[in-house]
A and B are shown apart, each in its own frame.
Chain A
C-alpha cells in the first residue's frame, strides 16, 4: 500500500466519519477502562497505580470465577438453542407460506421488545403465586401444586435461557433469512431435478451456502451472550444464592459499591474473552475470504 492514487484514497474519506465515531465511543472507553483497571480506583481510598493488582485479586476471587463459569455455561447452552431455533424459523419463513409477510413481522416482535421489559414479562410468567406458568401447569393437571421456577439453580438457569432464547432467536432468524434469500433458486431447483429430497437439499445445498451468514450470527450471539446483563438483572438479580450472577452483573455490583478499578478489571477480562472468541471464529471460518 505504498502509493495510492487519488481515486484509491476516496473510500477512506467515506469511512472517516465512522472511524471517528468508533474511536470516540468505542475505542476511547475501552482504553479508559483498561487504564482504570490498573488503578486502585475506589471512591473512599486514595487513588493509586497498582498495575496488575486488581487482576491478581480477581484470579483468587471465588465469586468472580463462579460468575465466569456461569457465563460460559450460559453461552454453551443458550447460543446453540438460539442458532437452532433461529435457523429453523428462517427455513420455515423462507418457504412459500400464506401470510408470509405477516408471519415474518410476528417473528421479529420479541427482538423488538427491550430486554428489560421482556425480562419483566417473563418474571410475571414465572411468578410463584400469580404467574402464568403455574396457572397453566396446575390447570392442565401437570403438577400437584405450583412450582417455584426461579427457586432452584437449575430452574433459574432454565428460566433465563428460555427468556433469552425467546428474545434473541428472532435475530438469528433475521440474519439467516436474509442469507437464505441470497441462495439462487436455480440451485435448489437443479437439486430437485436430481431427485434430492427436502433434507438433502437443505443440508447439502442451502446450508453450505449460508455458512458465512451462520457464522456471523454465531459470532454476534456469542459475544452478546458473553455480556448478558439485563435479562438476569431483572429476572433473578443473580439469585438464588448467587448461582446466576453473570460476569457483567458481577462487575456492575462493584461499580455500584464504588470500586471502579475492580469492576473495570472484570470488564477488561470479559472484553479479552470476547475479542479472543472473535479472532478464533474469524480464523476458523476464514470468513474474510468468503464474504
Chain B
C-alpha cells in the first residue's frame, strides 16, 4: 500500500472511530439461535413481532444447524465475556457446563419480582434440567423425549394388536414381520435407532438401560457404569444388529436422527426410535408412510417400565449481557402461549407449555400430542455435570465399540469407567 493511500485512509479511519465513539449507544438485543432454515425464518418472524409489540430493538444471530457448531458459536463469546449474544438457545446437555461456568443469569429474581407463573411448565424438567445450584438458569422452549414410531398398517397386516412393551416380545414380533416383509422388500429391517458415535447414542443407551442400576451412576465423586443393567442394555443393542439381525449394520456407523428417519420414512422399517420432530415429516405430503405411522413408548426390559431421555432446547440469558431486562422480556415473549403455539403449528415442535397441549387448534393438527405429554412427565434428563460432554465423549467411544461388537460390554464399561474417573480427578 502506498503512502498516498495511507494518508487518505487515516483521517477516514479516525472519523469512523469518532463517530462510533460518540454515537448514543442504542441497546440492541441479540438472540442467537440455529437450526434448519425454516426454523430460523420462523424465529425471524417471532423477533420481528417482538420488536414491534414491545418497542425493543432486537436482532437474530443466525447459527448453523449442527449442534456442536451452535455450541461453539455461543461458547467462544461467553468465554470471552462479551455482551453479545444477550439471549440464546442451549441444548439441554450444555446447561450444566454453562451454568457451572457462571455464564447464565439467575432467573429467580425476575420471576419473584413479577410473580411469573412457573406452573405452566413441567416441574420435573425445570428441576432436573434448568436448576443449577439453587438458581433457575434456563427455561425450556421446546421439549424432546425419545419415542417409538411404528407402522400401524404393518402391525395390522400381521395381526399384532398392541405395540410390544417389552424387549423379548418386541424382538419376536419384529423378527417375524421382517422375515415376511423381506420377501417383497429385501432392504427391509425391523428396527432403526441411533447408534453412531455421537451424543444420540448415549440418549438411546439411557433408554435401553431400564433395569435397576442402569444409566450413568454417580456417587462419591466416582462414576459407575459397569453394572449388570448397563451390560444388558449394551448387549441388547449389539444383539439387535448381530444376533437378531433386526437392525441394519450401519446403525453403529452412520445412523443419527436423520438417517433413521429417512430409512423409516422410505418404508423400509417397522419401528424407529426418534425424537418427536420426525412425526411432522413422516406425515408430510410426500412421505411414503403418511397416515401409516403411530407413536408408542420405547420398550423396556421385562417387568420394568419405559424410559425416555429428555432432550430439547432451553433459553438462557447471558450474565455478560448489557440488555438483561430486554432479554427477560424476550424470554417471556418466546415462552408466551401465543409464540409457543405459533412455533408449534409452524414447525411441529413440542411446546414447553402444558396449556398448548390442550389447545384445540394444536390438537387438531397434532393428535399425537396427547400421547406425548404423558411421555414428557416421565422423561429422564441426563446427568447435569459441568463436564458432561467429556464424560459422554468417552462413553460414546466405548459404547459404540460395544454396539459394533468389537468390545464386550463388561470390558467396554470397565475401561470407560477407568478413563472417566481419571478425567474427573482433573475437574475436582
Per-position 1/0 for B366-405, Cβ under 8 A of A: 0000000000000000000011011001101110110010
| B68 shortest CB reach to chain A, Å | 6
From known contacts A45-B427, A128-B249, infer whether A237 and B197 are also in contact, taking CB-CB under 8 Å.
Answer: yes
Provide the main secondary structure of the chain B interface.
Answer: helix
Closest to B266 in A: A129
Per-position 1/0 for A231-266, Cβ under 8 A of B: 000001111111101000000011111111010000
The answer to whether B252 has its CB under 8 Å from any CB of chain A is: yes
User: Which range holds the interface residue count of chain A?
Assistant: 35 or more
Stretch touching chain B among A95-103, A146-154, A195-203, A269-277: A146-154
Check if B254 sits within 8 Å of A242, measured CB to CB.
no
From known contacts A44-B101, A129-B187, A237-B197, infer whether A63 and B249 are also in contact, taking CB-CB under 8 Å.
Answer: no
The answer to whether A43 has its CB under 8 Å from any CB of chain B is: yes
Question: Number of B interface residues, CB 8 Å?
Answer: 42
Stretch touching chain B among A54-62, A74-82, A208-216, A278-286: A54-62
A256–B97 Cα distance when bound, in Å, is 10
Check if A241 sits within 8 Å of B253, measured CB to CB.
no
A61–B398 Cα distance when bound, in Å, is 15
A127–B259 Cα distance when bound, in Å, is 10
A181–B102 Cα distance when bound, in Å, is 61
Check if B253 sits within 8 Å of A44, measured CB to CB.
no
The answer to whether A207 has its CB under 8 Å from any CB of chain B is: no
The answer to whether B65 has its CB under 8 Å from any CB of chain A is: no
Residues of B within 8 Å of A150, CB to CB, are 250, 253-254
| A41 shortest CB reach to chain B, Å | 9
The answer to whether B315 has its CB under 8 Å from any CB of chain A is: no
Check if A240 sits within 8 Å of B248, measured CB to CB.
no
Interface residues of B in 408-427 (CB under 8 A from A): 415, 419, 422, 426-427
Check if B400 sits within 8 Å of A240, measured CB to CB.
yes
A236–B252 Cα distance when bound, in Å, is 11
Check if A239 sits within 8 Å of B196, measured CB to CB.
yes
Residues of A within 8 Å of B390, CB to CB, are 253-254, 257, 259
A42–B263 Cα distance when bound, in Å, is 40
Check if B422 sits within 8 Å of A60, measured CB to CB.
yes
Q: 21 A-B contacts, Cβ less than 8 Å apart? A: A42-B427, A43-B79, A57-B422, A63-B397, A128-B250, A129-B248, A150-B254, A151-B250, A236-B253, A238-B397, A239-B253, A240-B252, A241-B397, A242-B197, A242-B397, A245-B397, A254-B390, A255-B72, A256-B75, A257-B97, A257-B389
The 4 A-B pairs with the shortest beta carbon distances in the complex, nearest first, are: A241-B401, A239-B197, A242-B397, A128-B250
